Amino acid sequence: MIKVRGLKKVYPSAVALRGVDMDIQDNEWLSIMGPSGSGKSTLLNILGGLDYPTEGSVSYDGKEITTMKEDELAVFRRENIGFIFQQSYLIPYLTALENVMLAQYFHSIVDEKEAAEALKRVGLSHRLHHRPSELSGGEQQRVCIARALINSPKVLLADEPTGNLDRENTRVILELLGELHSNEGFTIVLVTHDPYVAGWGKRLLTMEDGRIIKDESFHS
Amino acid sequence: MSLFIPEAFIGSIKGTIAISASWLVINSYLSSKNKETGPVHLFILILWFMLLFIAGTFIEFDAFYKDQIRRVSAYMFGLLLITAIFSSGWSLKREFRLFYIFLIMLLYGPDVMSLSFFLKDLSAMRQNFTGAYIAGITGFLSGLSLLFFEKKIRSGLSPYLSLTGLFFSLSAIKLLLGGTGGYAELSLIPAVQRGLMKFFHDLVHQLFVFFMVPDHPLLKTTVWNFIGLIFGEAFTMIATLCILVIPPLVIVLRLLKRPEEVPEGLKGAERRKYIHEFMLLNRKRAFPIFLFALMVSFFWFFKAESGPGLYIPQPVPVVEEEGFVIIKLKEPGRELGDGNIHKFILRKDEKTYRFFIFKRPDGKFSVCLDACEICPPEGYGQARQHLICIYCNTPIPFNTVGEPGGCNPIPVGYIMTEKEIKIEVEEILKKWRLVHSGVSRE
Ligand SMILES: Nc1ncnc2c1ncn2[C@@H]1O[C@H](COP(=O)(O)OP(=O)(O)OP(=O)(O)O)[C@@H](O)[C@H]1O
Ligand SMILES: [Mg+2]
């Protein structure tokens, strides 16, 4: 379980978070919506240990991450968290397979068979040796998903993962995420502007001006 | 009279650092197994070495036994090295702390006794008892001060030590610091090398005798020149390197491999992580072993560079006076008792006879032919601790020079007066008949 308490992030020019409290259960699929500049990305980054808060705490199963040092945090991220962003951030001169293997390498050791297997699960077995520039936006994002999940993270953090995709590709990605989520049982925290995308989650937080103003759960 | 003799200090601090360092690596190893040794063990250890030291100081040992004790130290090293090589891959099921304490006791016991002989000799030689012992005790205390860093060193070191790594580390320490007998390049490498030379030499001789190879002129020169290669300097040097370096390198290579099996149920990222951590640990454990191989290679090159370093003086011609050769103990530019070998050459009836005079560390003068009963008479050179037969490279400890047999130089009777040494010419001629008269490599 992830516990967030009294989280504040203050920039010299702006206040991004003004006190966020929330609990995220294991295996939950949580969507976060809110207007531009409301602090969604800031929250996600702090949640994923990419950034430090000005104040407040974030703990994973009781383990506080906001007080960890850079190198401890790096180890923590690599073993527990997967990220997907709006831009793919794939290495342009490496193939899809090599991009996934690079994530393996930073985690431990590479295993080509396993990496190919992961790309097959996201429907890219025919694109293993293509560079990012030779892939469509939807395919690139699927490589990112394979890469984010290759080290079996407990939590997948996604910031506008479908922001650059059309409706059809968005659906494909979300179906894929849904399938992996129910098979592998990781937690998803997904930030989006799109109510259709947010609707795939079981719970929706709405943010405004650095605060959570609504917390709804959907039962289906 | 100085109150401080540096040699005593150096001898003593070297030995004590070696013991302290061994204690530290052993404790680092044990602490990774949650089996640390305590102050009681340290106390036992120090007490043991004190006892040995006192025994060495107050009991008069025969030169022969002193030499044997020094030799045991070298055997200990060999034993340790062999244990290190063969311990690869297994770990002691039940670690007795006392086993390791006992190991240190055994490993450095002879060295501590040698140190006590050394200090005793030194203080006698310099006629300065206080200076030698004050320096010795200062060295002892300085060496012990290493133990203050125990906590720090221990946690840093423990991931690097497997059982084999421990033994190799101990070997490295002993190699670097062991014994008063000198540093590595003077003990281990030449010792192994001489062993090899002698082995090949004897083997070839035996084969020749066995197959009754005829004493043909062709054999005398060409063949012997070829065969000589395998117990010559170059070949045995390389063989020495192989013997010392290949086993640890094989162990290192084995450690760098992936685990042979991964626990069942580990899949994907967890499996990779297990393999990765296994390899990281083994890489760390390979490190001290690799370091040992590196160190030995370094010494080897150092040694190969510096050559055998034998002192071989030119024989000084002497003449017969009424049936005797008379040599003054002191002459301008020469002092027979200075601890160096002094070679002489006598011409009689168209033949030459070489002999030398040598004052041993124990004070006794020896007069010997510059030849032994086994080898062609190429004579002897002087190394730091031994005379070396130039032909077969057999080392003769200083204090056994003058004893007959084997490859020892053939002793010659003499008469000693206050000012000179008198040797009967007839005695020289008679003893020379014992000299090996077989094939020479020349
Ligand atoms: N590095 C920064 N330095 C200064 N201000 C920042 C920084 N990052 C974010 N901010 C400010 O913090 C506030 C929250 O930004 P954040 O990126 O979290 O918003 P968001 O909800 O993700 O918006 P969007 O939907 O446009 O991505 C904004 O006002 C932004 O200008
Ligand atoms: Mg954003």
Nearest-angstrom CA–CA distance, B111 and B296: 21
Asked if A109 is an interface residue toward chain B (Cβ–Cβ < 8 A), one would say yes
Contacts of A38 (CB under 8 A, 6+ apart): A207, A208, A209, A210
Residues of chain B with CATH 2.102.10: 316-432
Checking if the pLDDT of B138 tops 80, the result is: yes
pLDDT in tens, A23-75: 999 999 999 999 999 999 999 999 999 999 999 999 999 999 999 999 999 99
Nearest to B154 by CA among B256, B307, B21, B257: B21
Does residue A180 belong to the interface with chain B, where contact is any CB pair within 8 Å? no
Q: Is A107 in Cβ contact with B273 (below 8 Å)?
A: yes
CA distance B345 to B340: 17
Task: State the ipTM, two decimals.
Answer: 0.85
In Å, how far are A32, A96, A161 from A138, measured between CA atoms?
A: 22, 13, 10
Q: How many Å apart are CA A123 and CA A138, to the nearest integer? A: 11
CA distance B267 to chain A (A): 10
Task: Please check the confidence at residue A1 and state whether its pLDDT lies above 50.
Answer: yes
Q: For chain B, say whether A111 makes contact (Cβ under 8 Å).
A: yes
CATH top-level class of B316-432:
mainly beta
- Whether B132 and B126 have beta carbons less than 8 Å apart is answered as yes
User: What is the C-alpha separation between A91 and A120, in angstroms, rounded?
Assistant: 19
d(CA B164, CA B82): 10
Q: B220 falls in which pLDDT band (50, 70, 90)?
A: low
* Per-residue pLDDT at B191: 62
CA torsion sign for B68, B70, B71, B75 is positive
Sheet of B324-328: strands edge to edge? B324-328, B420-424, B415-416
**pLDDT (tens digit per residue) in B331-369:** 877 888 888 899 999 988 888 899 999 999 888 899 999
B314 in Cβ contact with B343 (< 8 Å): yes
State if pTM tops 0.80: no
DSSP character string of B133-192? HHHHHHHHHHHHGGGGGHHHHHHHHGGG--HHHHHHHHHHHHHHH--TT--HHHHHHHHH
DSSP B199-239: HHHHHHHHHHHHTT----HHIIIIIHHHHHHHTSHHHHHHH
- Whether the CB-CB separation of B39 and B103 falls below 8 Å is answered with no
| pLDDT tens digits, B21-75 | 998 888 888 887 777 777 888 888 899 999 999 998 888 887 777 767 776 777 7
Q: Mark yes or no for CB contact A152/B269 under 8 Å.
A: yes
Count of A-B CB contacts under 8 Å:
25
Q: What is the position in ligand 1's atom list of the atom closest to the CA of A34? A: 21
The distance of A108 to chain B (nearest Cα, Å) reads: 5
Q: Which residue of chain B has the CA closest to A104?
A: B269
**Count of C-beta atoms within a 10 Å radius of residue B167:** 26
Q: What's the pLDDT tens digit per position in A152-197?
A: 999 999 999 988 888 988 998 899 999 999 998 899 999 999 999 9
- Residue A6, SS3 per DSSP: strand
Q: How does pLDDT run across B84-95, given as a tens digit for each residue? A: 888 876 666 556
A191 vs A208: CA distance, rounded Å: 13
Superfamily of domain A2-217 in CATH is P-loop containing nucleotide triphosphate hydrolases (3.40.50.300)
Q: Edge-to-edge strand order for the sheet containing A55-60? A: A15-24, A2-10, A55-60, A63-64
Section A1-15 average pLDDT: 94
B101-to-A51, B22, B105 alpha-carbon distances in Å: 52, 10, 6
Does residue B380 contact residue B390 with C-beta atoms inside 8 Å? yes
Q: Which amino acid is at B75?
A: Y
